[in-house]
Amino acid sequence: MTPAEREQAVTDEVLASFDTTADPRLREVMQSLVRHLHAFARDVRLSEREWEAAIAFLTRAGHITDDRRQEFILLSDVLGLSMLTVAINEPAVPGATEATVFGPFFIDDAPEVELGGDIARGAAGPPCYVSGQVRDTGGHPIAGARIDVWEADEDGFYDVQYSDDRSAGRGRLRAGADGGYRFWSVLPAPYPIPHDGPVGDLLTAAGRGPMRPAHLHFMVTAPGHRTLITHIFVAGDPYLGRDAVFGVKDGLVVDVEHHPAGVAPDGSDRPEAWTSIAFDLVLVAEPTHS
């Protein structure tokens, strides 16, 4: 048996072990995974030392992961797998807001905020008024849509990255009867993804940077519509063309308006300069089944 035949025999034996898998989708996925994984090892002629280093890398990623940090999401993000999965699953519907990566800093119990309320809750940064409308691709407003928003402060940290259990720079609100939404927060700032762990070591070894351009996260849900996970990015940010997680799309880049101290759109008197962002969120209807 030649070396090539010996290698193929290993792959064939593993593939056959999944032939009796009851779930057809699991069988399809696992056999495809085996084919591609084995082909990768043959392609790069993977050494035992390199294989051991890869296992150690994944072990470190597991050890550093907890309920406040997900290193495997970071790994998926910097390898572009997260954005590829988004691209595969995003419906091609004209006019819909484009989706992008979820990121590792969402939490499910964000504080409820009334329309026009302040999600900053003490987060550092210049005040920013964010507003827009949630609607469908036909232009109809989606009343009551749930909107989760979260962002880093001006120092580049999300609330969950602090050790004092603060809740800042995040909130949950409902769109009004006209689909409108509005809230105060802080102006998004660029920041590095966590790079003090194995993913950071990988970026350093590859000569890549950890920076993400300034952005604000949205997750929008409404009955009868696909959940939208997206960001809005600040126009002119120096990292727009080199996002560490490849999440930037042209349609998600927005202009920021700068305003002097004075009366804001909600009628409040702002004692300091403030900024504003306007962005509509357009959802795709779920297909109906007859």
Helix H or strand E encompassing 15: helix 3-17
Instruction: Tell me: do 161 and 251 sit in the same domain.
Output: yes
State mean pLDDT over 250-267: 95
Domain-embedded: residue 68? no
Over residues 20-59, the pLDDT tens digits come to: 999 999 999 999 999 999 999 999 999 999 999 999 999 9
Domain-embedded: residue 56? no
User: Residue with structure tokens 């609100």?
Assistant: 173
User: Residue with structure tokens 């297909």?
Assistant: 287
In the structure, what pLDDT confidence band is assigned to residue 68 with cuts at 50, 70 and 90? Answer: confident
Hey, what are 205's tokens?
């070894």
Q: Looking at residue 117, what DSSP letter applies?
A: -
Instruction: Tell me: do 88 and 154 sit in the same domain.
Output: yes
Domain-embedded: residue 54? no
Residue 269 sits in a domain of what CATH number? 2.60.130.10
What is the distance between the alpha carbons of residues 106 and 171, in angstroms, rounded to a whole number?
Answer: 10
What is the distance between the alpha carbons of residues 159 and 152, in angstroms, rounded to a whole number?
Answer: 7
- At position 60, the amino acid (one-letter code) is R
Task: Give pLDDT, residue 66.
Answer: 87
Instruction: Tell me: do 85 and 200 sit in the same domain.
Output: yes
Domain-embedded: residue 51? no
Instruction: Tell me: do 155 and 240 sit in the same domain.
Output: yes
Beta-bridge partners for 69? 66
Hey, what are 159's tokens?
């609330």
Per the prediction, the chain carries an average pLDDT of 94
Instruction: Tell me: do 133 and 208 sit in the same domain.
Output: yes
User: Residue with structure tokens 């995003």?
Assistant: 90
Beta-bridge partners for 211? 192
pLDDT above 90 for 90: no
Structural domain for 12, as ranges: 1-46
Looking at the structure of the chain, the number of domains it has is 2
Hey, what are 278's tokens?
């306007």
Pairing mode, strands 215-221 and 191-192: unpaired
Domain-embedded: residue 149? yes
Instruction: Tell me: do 115 and 28 sit in the same domain.
Output: no
